């Protein structure tokens, strides 16, 4: 029965495709997202006049002051700000966005240890501003912007920000953010993922680990495309 065989073949093929899609391999766009290779792939910038930086952190003590902190949530290393005096610190990675982005998920783990009595969140990362500034944030931004910029045209999507009134000490907390719309709108471009911390009130440890930005692997996209063409041929 030729028709039945053909239908059976179609069911099997679609079943395989469905299985492939369900367990589709992901393409990781972040290099060294767990800081297990130090700061390879990452760029650190500290505002002029700052003390401290994003250090490589391991164990259960902060890198400069030896404050009690949770160990890195994955592997042996995390990135963590620490300093003996006020400053503003940026850690970023530039990411080439694929030409096609059907779905994209950004993940990271953050640790917050604010030694001040509150968060102060002016719309600047300048630690030398006359106002209190005690905050951390994560943004997807343009690569041409000043690394410390918080200007609207430069910030494509703010994905985390300390909020006045939120817990002064928290984490590591895992975040998972659907960034499909943003990446699809910037397919083929290079965007910047930035972690930033500013403090001029008291010590502030901002820990980062397990950074990941995934899209479906090209092989998975190829299977999906094959399924579409198979369906078109049959219709
Ligand atoms: Ca790690």
| Tens-place pLDDT, residues 5-15 | 444 444 444 43
Determine the distance separating the centroid of ligand 1 and the alpha carbon of 74, expressed in angstroms.
Answer: 5
Q: Domain range spanning residue 147? A: 26-216
Tokens of 26: 């992901």
| Nearest Cα residue to 36 out of 210, 188, 231, 219 | 210
46 plus 115 within the same structural domain:
yes
How close is the Cα of 39 to the center of ligand 1, in Å?
11
pLDDT in tens, 7-45: 444 444 443 444 444 457 899 999 999 999 999 999 999
For residue range 114-160, list pLDDT tens digits in order.
999 999 999 999 999 999 999 999 999 999 999 999 999 999 999 99
Å from CA of 130 to ligand 1 middle: 36
**Cα 232 from chain centre:** 38
pLDDT value for 218 = 82
For residues 95 and 188, membership in a common domain is answered with: yes
Q: What is the DSSP letter of 68?
A: B
Q: Which CATH number belongs to the domain containing residue 121 in this structure?
A: 2.60.120.260
Q: According to the model, what pLDDT value does residue 221 have? A: 61
Distance 226 CA to ligand 1 centre (A): 37
CA of 173 to the centre of ligand 1 (A): 14
- Are residues 75 and 7 part of one domain? no
Q: For residue 62, report the distance from its CA to the centre of ligand 1, in Å.
A: 15
Q: What's the pTM? A: 0.86
């Amino acid at each position: 029965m030729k028709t039945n065989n053909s239908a059976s073949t179609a069911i099997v093929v679609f079943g395989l495709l469905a299985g492939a899609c369900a367990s589709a391999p992901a393409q990781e766009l972040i290099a060294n997202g767990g800081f297990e290779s130090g700061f390879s792939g990452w760029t650190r910038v500290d505002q002029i006049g700052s003390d401290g930086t994003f250090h490589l952190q391991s164990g259960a003590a902060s890198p400069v002051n030896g404050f009690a902190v949770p160990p890195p949530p994955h592997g042996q290393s995390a990135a963590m700000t620490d300093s003996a005096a006020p400053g503003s610190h940026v850690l970023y990675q530039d990411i080439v966005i694929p030409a096609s982005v059907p779905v994209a998920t950004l993940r990271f783990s953050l640790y917050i240890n604010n030694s001040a009595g509150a968060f102060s969140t002016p719309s600047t990362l300048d630690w030398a501003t006359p106002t209190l500034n005690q905050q951390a944030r994560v943004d997807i931004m343009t690569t041409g912007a000043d690394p410390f910029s918080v200007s609207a045209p430069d910030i494509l999507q703010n994905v985390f920000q300390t909020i006045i009134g939120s817990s002064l000490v928290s984490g590591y907390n895992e975040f998972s953010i659907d960034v499909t719309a943003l990446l699809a709108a910037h397919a083929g471009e290079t965007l910047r993922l930035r972690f930033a911390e500013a403090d001029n009130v008291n010590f502030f440890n901002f820990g980062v680990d397990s950074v990941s930005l995934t899209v479906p692997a090209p092989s998975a996209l190829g299977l999906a495309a094959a399924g579409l063409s198979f369906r078109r041929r049959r219709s």
